[in-house]
Amino acid sequence: MKEWLKNAVFYEIYPQSFKDTNADGIGDFNGIIEKLDYIKEMGFTAIWMNPCFDSPFTDAGYDVRDYYTVAARYGTNEDIKRLFEEAHKRDIRIMLDLVPGHTSVEHKWFLESKKPERNEYSDRYVWTDDIWTDINNMPGIKGVIRGISDRNGACGVNFYSSQPALNYGFAEITEPWQCAVDSPAALATREALLDVIRFWLKMGCDGFRVDMAGSMVKNDKDESATVELWQQIFAVVNREFPQAAFIAEWGNPVHALKGGFDMDFLLTFGPSHYKDLFHSENPFFSKTGTGSAKAFFEYYLDSCKQNGGNGLMCIPSGNHDIERLSYFCDATHMKLVYAFMMSMPGVPFIYYGDEIGMRYLPNVTSVEGGYRRTGTRSPMQWDDSVNSGFSTAKAEKLYVMQDPDEDRPTVEKQWQDGESILHELKRQIAVRKRHEALQESGRIELITCDYPLVYKRFIDSNAVLVAINPKDEVAFVNVAGLYAAETLYSFNGKADLTNGRLTVPPLSATYIRLES
């Protein structure tokens, strides 16, 4: 764990939808620079920026055409370098989105690999030995593309058919066209990835969120070869860039941390049950009181135990791939969700616009491979000016359509309302940053994961009791042996701890510093 991550609070920026400064309807680096003071004022200490490299944008930038050049629509390499510098002046770190498992079909490596003549890129991707050879039921490969060149072979893909899979080798070799993880071809791909990482860290970025981090080595059923691959990569990176942070999109924190990542994301798919909390039709954070957090905490605490007691898992409010938080939670429950996020171990991530309760837009026409995800990528809503302050372009030119509701939430309106979602989150971030027990390093002891949710966060002799009641009725919990020293934070009424009995008001959240 890098030292600067221990009290970090991240803000995820989808660059094309954040702030447009040249009236082309697409956000850009200068727009992010313009809003750094806002990000700082909210209390965020770091930014995760979604892919910004040159791309044909068949998958919104997750199909990289050139790892060394930013997309012209966002600006230039000089512009992003200035973004790093301006962020650092404000003590804000910036992590880029790295896509190491695949590229675009337009990447020069792939164009060379398509040639029938052998060259240094012939084995950069996962190619079969014949155009008719398919790849079926192979872990890490989603299908093939074929008939696109004179080369006699089919190429495996990582996700969309426009994203050919880079070759880091096979854990279990079953065909002659497959190569081992320590083969010259696989090692060459690894070195190419290291060169990309070095380039941007030297430019001034502070690390990477790594897309599909568990998909690198193919036919790796227990993921052990992929874990070892990342261990080898980080042995180099940590020596050369000791403060660079890496966060995995893996969905398996035990494997991610063993591989050398600082943290892993909890995902709406996979075994974590993160979705049960506030991204489902019957979430735990609902006043009905019929949801359940039990499976989530069983998985979470077991992962912490396997990781030596550390809660090195990121809990995001949402992200660019799932419906917005407001789709499942009303304003009150969003505030309770944030009270939960800001009092859990690991590092919290807030998706842009979630701090004001921006809405998910269903049935929006797909843009750049977004499909149903497009509705969560609409332009940021800053004020009541044209296009809610996102862009001065005509509405038809906007990257994604904006929320058409004239009463849509904006930063300006919520800034003027002291009881808004924005202000509640700002208060919660401030409390987290003041109390080490609530930060990454503090341990967690679960008292109850029913209604209410009660747990203790502690480090050394400092302990904080967190009580959150999403249900619309008062709740009681016996907590013998715990004594209140002071209330650090409360929303919608204070929980009372007297004589070993905790009384939690309905729809409320309270942080109580305990007597040592």
Average pLDDT over the chain, rounded to whole? 96
Helices 224-240, 184-203: axis angle to 10 degrees equals 40
Between strands 453-459 and 443-449, the pairing is: antiparallel
DSSP 371: G
> What is the CATH class of 3-99+263-433?
alpha beta
What is the pLDDT at residue 268?
80
User: Does the CA dihedral 223-224-225-229 come out positive or negative?
Assistant: positive
pLDDT at 311: 60
Q: Which of 14-28, 89-103, 182-196, 300-314 has the least mean pLDDT?
A: 300-314
For residues 271 and 181, the model is more confident at 181
| Neighbour tally for 183: CB within 10 Å | 17
Supply angle C-alpha 480, 456, 249, rounded to 5: 155
Residue 307 has pLDDT above 70, yes or no: yes
pLDDT in tens, 383-424: 999 999 999 999 999 999 999 999 999 999 999 999 999 999
| Side chain identity at residue 365, one-letter code | T
DSSP state of 439: S
Q: What is the pLDDT of residues 350-362, one digit of tens each?
A: 999 999 999 999 9
Confidence check: pLDDT of 143 > 70: yes
User: Cα–Cα distance between 166 and 237 in angstroms, integer?
Assistant: 20
pLDDT at 441: 85
pLDDT of residue 304: 87
Decide if pLDDT at 19 tops 90: yes
Residue 407 to residue 328: CA distance in whole angstroms = 19
Domain residue limits, the chain: 3-99+263-433, 443-514
The residue to which tokens 């660059």 are assigned: 15
The CA–CA distances, whole Å, from 238 to 68, 198, 232, 258, 356 equal: 21, 11, 10, 14, 37
Single-letter amino acid code for the residue at 186: A
Give the mean pLDDT of 50-65: 98
Superfamily of domain covering 443-514:
Golgi alpha-mannosidase II (2.60.40.1180)
Res 313: pLDDT: 83
C-alpha of 197 from chain center:
19
Q: What letter represents residue 254's amino acid?
A: V
Give the three-class secondary structure for 218: strand
Cα distances (angstroms) measured from residue 301 to each of 81, 307, 315 = 40, 10, 14
Question: SS3 string of 33-96?
Answer: HHCHHHHHHHCCCEEEECCCEECCCCCCCCCCCEEEEECCCCCCHHHHHHHHHHHHHCCCEEEE
pLDDT value for 310: 64
Task: Please report, as a single letter, which amino acid is at residue 223.
Answer: E
Following CA atoms 395, 399, 400, 406 in sequence, which dihedral angle do they give, to the nearest 10 degrees? -30
pLDDT confidence bin for 306, thresholds 50/70/90: confident
Looking at residue 189, what DSSP letter applies? H
Q: State yes or no: pLDDT of 190 exceeds 90.
A: yes
- pLDDT band of 294, cuts 50, 70, 90: very high
Per residue in 75-104, pLDDT tens? 999 999 999 999 999 999 999 999 999 999
206 confidence band (pLDDT: 50, 70, 90): very high
Full-model pTM: 0.97
